[in-house]
């Protein structure tokens, strides 16, 4: 992703969740334990393929029945402009990152979430789910394309990037 930001790569690399799955229960894994969630307006083949091509998806890992989920992950800029996973944003205002992470279960779940900028740790949130975050990146690099991602320390959740160019 840094190579994309530097103009070395023409296209960014997107992440999906997958496993080398051979048998239900083998190695303690269940079918469906590694879902990729696509951000689509309608559930059609075309919409899913478009989301995959544009990076509008995230990966997670669960037990086949429950898993963490990203309810939303946006970066806001000038005049309320916003970008979601896979999109780019140019802003003259400090980037404001907003996200909500929850689980599809009523069981309490503790998670250490990492907010990443340009491949480097920006902020850690050690919390019970659900969590809703608003974070203004006052140290955002000026005049350079960078990216934001969220993931958890236990490797059970990761977003695709939101690209941002901050030019005050």
Q: Do β-strands 162-166 and 145-152 pair in parallel, antiparallel, or remain unpaired?
A: antiparallel
| pLDDT at position 27 | 67
Q: Give the residue among 83, 163, 156, 151 at the shortest CA–CA distance from 122.
A: 151
Tokens, residue 105: 């279960």
Q: Are 110 and 127 in contact (CB under 8 A)?
A: yes
| Cα distance between residue 147 and residue 138, in whole Å | 15
Per-residue pLDDT for 120 more than 90?
A: yes
Ramachandran angles phi, psi of 125, nearest 5° = -125, 105
| pLDDT at position 67 | 85
| Cα distance between residue 87 and residue 82, in whole Å | 9
| Cα distance between residue 123 and residue 111, in whole Å | 14
pLDDT in tens, 23-44: 776 666 777 788 899 999 999 9
Q: How confident is the model at residue 115 (pLDDT cuts 50, 70, 90)?
A: very high
Per-residue pLDDT for 106 more than 90?
A: no
Gyration radius of the chain's alpha carbons: 16
- Can you say whether residue 144 is alpha, beta or left, with left for phi > 0 and alpha for psi between -120 and 50 degrees? beta
Residue 83, Cβ neighbours under 10 Å: how many?
21
Q: Are 113 and 131 in contact (CB under 8 A)?
A: yes
Instruction: Give this prediction's pTM.
Output: 0.91
pLDDT in tens, 48-100: 999 999 999 999 988 777 889 999 999 999 999 999 999 999 999 999 999 99
Q: How confident is the model at residue 109 (pLDDT cuts 50, 70, 90)?
A: confident
| pLDDT at position 134 | 97
Over pLDDT 90: what percentage of the chain? 77
């Amino acid at each position: 992703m840094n190579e994309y930001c530097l103009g070395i790569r023409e296209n960014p690399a997107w992440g999906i969740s997958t496993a080398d799955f051979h048998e239900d229960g083998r190695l303690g894994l269940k079918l469906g334990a590694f879902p990729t969630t696509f951000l689509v307006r309608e559930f059609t083949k075309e919409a899913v393929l478009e989301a995959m091509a544009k990076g509008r998806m995230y990966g997670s890992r669960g037990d086949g029945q429950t898993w963490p989920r990203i309810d939303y992950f946006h970066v806001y800029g000038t005049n309320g402009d916003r970008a979601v996973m896979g999109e780019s944003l140019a802003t003259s205002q400090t980037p404001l990152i907003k996200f909500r992470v929850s689980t599809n279960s009523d069981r309490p779940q503790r998670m250490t979430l990492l907010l990443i900028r340009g491949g480097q740790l920006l902020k850690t949130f050690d919390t019970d789910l659900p969590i809703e975050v608003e974070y203004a990146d006052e140290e955002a690099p000026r005049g350079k394309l960078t990216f934001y991602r969220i993931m958890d320390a236990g490797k059970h959740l990761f977003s695709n990037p939101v690209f941002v160019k901050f030019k005050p």
